[in-house]
Structure 1
Amino acid sequence: MKFNIKKIIISPLIICTIFSFAGCSNKNDTTKNSTQIQTQTSTKNNISNDTSDTPNNKISKLNEDDFIITYKKNKITVGKFSEELFKNIGSGTANDNNNWGFVGFDDKDNYKYYSHGYPSDNPLFIVRTRTNIADGSIIISDIDVTKMGTNRQIRLGSKSDEITSAYGKPNKILDFDDSITNYEYYYKDKILDFYLDSKTNKVTQIILRYNEKSLS
């Protein structure tokens, strides 16, 4: 009986080749799956990194610029009184018919008015001056910017969530007679006050205020 030696030899080679391809296929599938898992993990990490940068992280801290307004190229802020400043910007609406509180005056009867509205014909902001309880000097006690708004675009009628989006969480929240809510923000010797209607949560008044306790 004759055997076909060629067939016997070729058959094992074919079998080995088939298993070899199968092994490669499994290896490729494993590599492919591993790559997909890595890609998916990377994608998830990218999404996590993107969403970690929340709006609160982008809120600038309260700073000196938040307490400065510019009028006739003059910078005005709460605190130290400047005679030069009032020479440049005038007394505004301060007169005997529009005085919110007598402060006292020097030997020349200067600076006796408490409330100075600018511009005088249609005031957008009000500067109030008075005697500092700590040392008796004249100070700019506060500036009412309700009409003109703040440097971060909060103004009359803005809602409470707009305030926190612009300034973050208040340092203190005060309630008055269940009708007015006060958001206070502190920076060194200065305070930014937002007064809101407790029912509507809308801004009714905005005050830049000097903290006199800083000198006491």
Structure 2
Amino acid sequence: MSEIGKVLWDALPFLLEGAKNTLLLSFFSIFGALIVGLIIALLRISKIKIAIGFAKLYVSFFRGTPLLIQLFILYFGLVSVDIQLTAWQAAYTGLILHFGAYISESLRAAILSLSKGQWEAAMSLGMNKSLIYKEIIIPQAWRRAIPPVWNSLIDIVKASSLASVITISELTYNSDQIAASSYEVLPIMLTAACIYWLFTTVLNIIQGFLEKRLSIPS
């Protein structure tokens, strides 16, 4: 076995441990971002001025500032006001809030793209507003929003690498540690890149399946 091959073999358990943590971080961040995105989207299209104002400010801030800065604020900055988040709490919060803003805009656009005739037809059947959202509007909006929302989900997996700067032992952090100790930067980082590529490829396959399965008849 070549020297590089031996380094990669010895590094594999550490890389897989980092990959596992990347998956955990990504999965729960995706789940949280979807929920936050839906809530903010509904606030944006509500008729309550305070809710609309809050949602606009939220989206503007989290889309207009770098995720890295947001992680620094959550992990290092909040300590000055006596709020101490663990590295994992800061990473989850940062990813959820950041990508929740992007997902909210995708969902809002999908909801607004639905014809008003559907509202009028549902109301004529005696359905209240919450039931219309639950049974008619939101299911159709999710279907229409799959491509842009899924792009955000893929971005969450890749952006989870920024959690390495707050010392979370995910794939990028572990790869950097191995590369620094073995001086084999290229093969280690290429291996890490291929693992990320595998994760995003699986998500792309799932996206294609969902788009085909949930396609809206013409």
- TM-score (structure 2 length as normaliser): 0.29
Rg larger in structure: 1
User: Which structure is higher in helix share?
Assistant: 2
User: Which structure is higher in strand share?
Assistant: 1
